[in-house]
Amino acid sequence: QKEVEQNSGPLSVPEGAIASLNCTYSDRGSQSFFWYRQYSGKSPELIMFIYSNGDKEDGRFTAQLNKASQYVSLLIRDSQPSDSATYLCAVNGGKLIFGQGTELSVKP
């Protein structure tokens, strides 16, 4: 079983819709969780991090964490074509462990 799992996608949403990206992890002792965005040919860019159960909002982005279910998600409201990228979930287990990424496509 992979330590951090994401649907590879592609996930396609229309412009203006909410994009929902999901991630599960296997290590119950994980304490911090990260979402990175990676455009094709570029390096990852940190979007958000979350440590506590519940929601954390930053602009159009909301990270949600449920440690009991070992689940972390990222919601993107009012999706824009510029949000089209691969989104990487990462879990800190001593070192960052990345999921394989979900490709998001926002259609105009």
Partner 1 sequence: GAVVSQHPSRVICKSGTSVKIECRSLDFQATTMFWYRQFPKQSLMLMATSNEGSKATYEQGVEKDKFLINHASLTLSTLTVTSAHPEDSSFYICSARDRPDTQYFGPGTRLTVL
**Contacting residues toward partner 1, per CB under 8 A:** 31-32, 34, 36, 42-46, 49, 88, 92, 95-96, 98-101
In the complex, least distance from residue 46 CB atom to partner 1, rounded to whole angstroms: 6
Q: Of 42 and 77, which CB lies nearer to partner 1 in the complex structure?
A: 42
In the complex, least distance from residue 4 CB atom to partner 1, rounded to whole angstroms: 9
Q: How many CA atoms lie within 13 A of 4 on its CB side?
A: 24
In the complex, least distance from residue 96 CB atom to partner 1, rounded to whole angstroms: 6
Closest CA to 2 of 103, 105, 89, 104: 89
